[in-house]
Structure 1
């Protein structure tokens, strides 16, 4: 393996780990609600939804099946409309998309 690829993989892995661990380990009670770090952390939920959306749209745009994308989007919208929770919407979208993919693989 080339050293550039290994270095990049380690750097991305560390940044991903730090991004997930920092909010759970840090004392965020002293943050100003309108501060830049508080706004950044508040944006991670919508960013997760956008990432799931892009991951489900790309295969469809490349000629794949549209059913998982439609199920995932419908689950996100329904969960968010019902609970106004970004976490619930993210999980519902993942579950909806996953069940649709599983259903297509199972019934195909």
Structure 2
């Protein structure tokens, strides 16, 4: 189970970084969303991965799952949704004004 979650986090991070480095604005937005999904999955996994266990079990320490990462992930999901909506609106405005979604480069950096 841990290997599967670690592989998913690594794949999301790698693809998010790859998309952020593109020269178009839409892949950058998708890349930032993928990176936020990777961070949320990582935070969720820090609270111990336990199947069919309640979050808190009284005085027994054997099956306790920490509920704090779950609360952090819920907060991060809301914040990342708002930021993604803002970035999409900024990207759409820039596209409508310039009719192009290319990221501007300095003249010496152009191929």
- Assess same fold via TM > 0.5: no
Higher RCO (CA 8 Å, separation ≥ 6 residues): 2
* TM-score of Structure 1 vs Structure 2, range by shorter chain: 0.3 to 0.5
- Taking structure 1 as the reference length, what is the TM-score of the superposition? 0.34
Question: Which of these two proteins has the greater Rg computed from alpha carbons?
Answer: 2
Tell me the TM-score normalised to structure 2 length.
0.34
